[in-house]
Chains A and B, each alone.
Chain A
Amino acid sequence: MTLIEKTAAELIDALAAGETTSVELTQAHLDRIAAVDGDVHAFLHIDAEGALSQAAASDARRANGDALHALDGVPIAVKDVLTTTGLPTTCGSKILEGWIPPYDATVVKKIKAAGLPILGKTNMDEFAMGSSTEHSAYGPTKNPWKLDRIPGGSGGGSAAAVAAFEAPLALGTDTGGSIRQPGAVTGTVGVKPTYGSVSRYGLVALANSLDQVGPVTRTVLDSALLHELIGGHDPLDSTSTTTPVTGLVDAARAGATGDLKGVKVGVIKELAGEGWAPDVMAKFNESVDLLTKLGADVVEVSTPSFEHAMAAYYLILPAECSSNLAKFDAMRYGLRVTPDGDPSAEDVMKASRDAGFGDEVKRRIILGTYALSSGYYDAYYGQAQKIRTLIIEDFKKAFEQVDVLVSPTSPSTAFPLGAKLDDPLAMYMQDLATIPANLAGTPGISIPAGVSDADGLPVGVQLLAPVLEDARLYRVGAALEAAIGPVLSIDKLEVAR
């Protein structure tokens, strides 16, 4: 097995045993990026020099016998929506082209402090709006399994980088499923932690009440390792929880070697069946059977409000984003387009926004502005918040009956690039199963459930747990992962070995 094929947990062992160095394995990933990223386009910015110098520093610490974080020296890729000093942060948008933030996101600070070399910034749908990474202003990312397919979105870059073995770990953000859905369609593991358990400071907001930073990896254990590193209270984020984020790695290790006796699993009635691709349902049902075999007590639960989740989401999200994006006025940073003649400040602003924002972003700004406008607030935003409350109630009731909930992560496997680009609603449907967790703030994980019999592409299964019970996801997820067996391997990819 080559270095790049090793999981983060394996790399930790290899580094500890002196079988490799951080510089060596960072270089191996940079070589892989150089070899395949021309096809995959997972990265927007690659920082070879920075990553190698961080790797060298890690090796020096190790040689010196310093106390190290477990992941010290293991390289990582970071979604371009998180601020990084010295590295551009564009959010996949022209309007931020060339912007180098003067500060690091808290999660970036944490991974830097722990000694993880940052390989670069990954591609994404513009301002995280989309489910295919085709809305990136810098061109789409391709699914390494099959290059004419989408890698999911908005975190398609992070998922594709991990799936293509360009990085063992990546950070993503999940507002309506942007970690989990790309995970499902690329055969990787993606986690949306409990809302507030990972700091959002330095995450350029899409919809503040829904956004969450989380890990993208190839195994459940790797996600647990990264999740424990980035989690915890941040005084700079007043919505961050004070509950310590611990026990996740232990839960993942226990799950991988144990059974699920006594665990109650609920299959969400509303997130299976109609509208779901048969090959996806087939793989999902296999996963449910495996859960039973592992000793879990599987029952069906109903969450009737979930059918309105999509509608509520597409009012709340645009409302918040219309306000968040108002700051891009071409006056202080980012793109400035100056029309000919003697333009006023307004003219410059108009021209810059016209050139700087893509269609999907403009669509949502308009939608959100409308939803918040006086006379419509109660009918739209207000109603959406009521639905949100009902969804929280649905989760509460469901979790009175079961410990975790399961559903397919995404209704289909990766669709061809361009297939849904002109049909926003069809694109939005990709996040049907993932959105309720964002509205309720509950944690969720997507793990690979196998490959579709129809097209040979990966299918994901989603597990959901109550707020702050992220550890359950790692225990059940690791057990299921072990039972399913490896799904992603470098040989199955269309990108060259």
Chain B
Amino acid sequence: MSETLVAFDEVLERYDPAMGLEVHVELNTNTKMFCGCPATFGGEPNSQVCPTCLGLPGSMPVVNAKAVESAIRIGLALNGSIAEWCRFARKNYFYPDMPKNFQTSQYDEPIVYDGYLDVEVEGETFRVEIERAHMEEDTGKTTHIGGSTGRIHGADYSLVDYNRAGIPLIEIVTRPILGTGAKAPLVAKAYVAALREILLGLGVSDVRMDQGSMRCDVNLSLSPKGSDKLGTRTETKNVNSLRSVERAVRFEMSRHAGILDAGEAIFQETRHFHEDTGTTSAGRPKSDADDYRYFPEPDLVPVAPSREWVEELRGTLPEPPAEKRARLQAEWGYSDLEMRDVWAAGAMTLIEATVAEGASAQAARKWWMAELSRAANDRGVELAEVGVTPAQVAEVQKLVDGGSLTDKLARQVFEGLLAGEGTVSEIIDARGLAVVSDDGALGAAVDEAIDAQPAVAEKIRGGNQAAAGALIGAVMKATGGKADAKRVRELILEKLS
């Protein structure tokens, strides 16, 4: 089979991409989907298990009501319909880390159907239609010991940890996303990012892609330009970062085009994504005829959320992120570009909090996007984790507004905060950063400056007020920049009038 990659721009000359994204989200419920075991991450292997999540003979599942609640809230936030009546089904297949050898999932009766999410890419809005979101349980985790690949083949033995088995999952499945053209990789990334933002706002999941609590399967196919028939798809499994989602789409587009250009057929299969190279490799063959022998789970009664409950949950939804962004932008008076930068830097909620503490939107943006973003970048941490709080930013700005700090001094305060030197006032005291506006102290410095530069003083006496700059500079220098420049100017003019 041809593995010639076609340059991305060329792909688009001949083909239209179609994408389907399946995002798995681990819910952050206290207990597992079907039993009372703790659902916390990272315990000793097999320390959070019981007969039910171990699938022991005779054990029975009971649905976690909190997980159903999260599923409904997610569905509503994705503009979806909530089923009045739905069921769990058994998906029968063998996998070493699946203790029952069937997965309890939802099949043709998902709890959420017909939703959508609008995503914006470079000023253009794409509506991603969501076919369904369904509830299921996660599997355990296997570690293969021995062998070189870390995969089961060639391993001496395998260890299975069932702590994760039975953690509630929501799988959110889109309809084929068409008409994105060259923006396909960006739309995929933007969709997952928007989804992540919504889930974060709902508080239903940690959405940590690096820890696997959110993972994305990328389905991609190409069809000849202008054709309305979908091509054969491949499914790249478990892509675990936003950047990788974009790269996986891009790579598969190039790879598919290479195969199609050579007149060959795409093989329907799952693919593994390789973070280091940005490429994919063949997984297992997959066909629509994969026979999971689904049938309704007889041990569980149907889930029938009352309409009252659904409406009650609708009332708990936070403002949709896109609407919130638009509202804040208007309130703050930011330009589109400024707002986009703020959002991309993860500064939106920080600025919102800083404004709530009394700072102006302009000042808040200035500190977070300049000083603090740079520090976060230098340290390789999220802005929110940089070590300065919105309250501190507002406090510093208040001192600037009141004239007791200059911007330059404020920068030094932030330096101290970032270095963990204490509170704002402690740092000002310790570093001696307060502006000198005391006329006595300033007066002496002004007299010194006048004495040192008689020629300049003469010009000012002659009415040339603009010449005061040189004297102000000298006073600032003498006071280590702590002088209140406005007051210095007044004093100079008073003395030389």
Contacts and interface: CB of A to CB of B under 8 A. Distances in A.
Contact of B58 (A101, A209, A332, A372): A101
Contacts of A377: 293-295
Interface stretch (A14-22, A146-154, A282-290, A322-330): A322-330
B83 to A, nearest CB: 18
B102 A345 contact: no
B46 to A, nearest CB: 11
Contact of B61 (A89, A204, A238): A238
A207 B60 CA distance: 13
A82 interface: yes
Nearest to B157: A345
A205 B291 CA distance: 23
A331 B291 contact: no
Interface in B414-445: none
A237 B60 CA distance: 6
B365 interface: no
A324 to B, nearest CB: 8
Contacts of A65: none
**Number of chain B interface residues as a range:** 20 to 34
Interface in A199-230: 200-205, 207-209
B62 A205 contact: no
A369 B295 CA distance: 11
Contacts of A320: 295, 298
B59 interface: yes
B56 A101 contact: yes
Contact of B99 (A101, A204, A327): A327
Given A319-B295, A323-B90, A374-B291, A204 B58 contact: yes
A9 interface: no
A86 to B, nearest CB: 15
A233 to B, nearest CB: 12
A204 B51 CA distance: 12
A466 to B, nearest CB: 20
Contacts of B59: 103, 201-202
Nearest to A328: B57
Contacts of A326: 92, 94, 100-102
Contacts of A372: 92, 293-295
Contacts of B294: 372, 377
A235 B96 CA distance: 29
A237 B63 CA distance: 10
A333 B59 CA distance: 14
B301 interface: yes
Contacts of B291: 373-374
Interface in A46-94: 82-83, 89, 91
A105 interface: yes
A323 B102 contact: yes
Could you tell me the dominant secondary structure of chain A's interface residues? loop
Given A323-B293, A372-B293, A238 B100 contact: no
A327 B57 contact: yes
Could you tell me the dominant secondary structure of chain B's interface residues? loop
A238 B299 contact: yes
**Number of chain A interface residues as a range:** 35 or more
Interface string B230-241: 000000000000
Contacts of B63: 238
Interface in B51-96: 51, 54-63, 90, 92, 94, 96
A426 interface: no
A238 B102 contact: no
Nearest to B51: A103
Given A238-B299, A239-B300, A320-B298, A373 B293 contact: yes
B289 interface: yes
A381 interface: yes
A101 B295 CA distance: 28
Contacts of A333: 56
B348 to A, nearest CB: 42
Interface string B318-343: 00000000000000000000000000
A345 B293 contact: no
A239 B62 CA distance: 9
Contact of B60 (A236, A331, A345): A236
A374 B295 contact: no
A296 interface: no
Most B C-beta atoms less than 10 A away, residue of A319, A327, A372, A374: A327
A118 interface: no
Contacts of A327: 55, 57, 99-101
B301 A329 contact: no
Given A327-B99, A345-B96, A91 B60 contact: no
Nearest to A331: B96
A208 B298 contact: yes
Nearest to B297: A208
Contact of A209 (B56, B61, B293, B298): B298
A326 B98 CA distance: 11
B295 A91 contact: no
Contact of A105 (B54, B58, B300): B58
A203 B62 contact: no
Given A201-B58, A323-B92, A326-B92, A238 B295 contact: no
3 pairs of A and B residues whose beta carbons are closest in the complex: A326-B101, A208-B298, A209-B298
Interface of B: 51, 54-63, 90, 92, 94, 96, 99-102, 289, 291, 293-295, 298-301
Given A329-B94, A372-B294, 5 more contacts: A83-B58, A208-B299, A320-B298, A372-B293, A374-B293
9 contacts: A102-B56, A103-B51, A204-B57, A238-B61, A238-B62, A319-B295, A323-B102, A372-B294, A373-B293
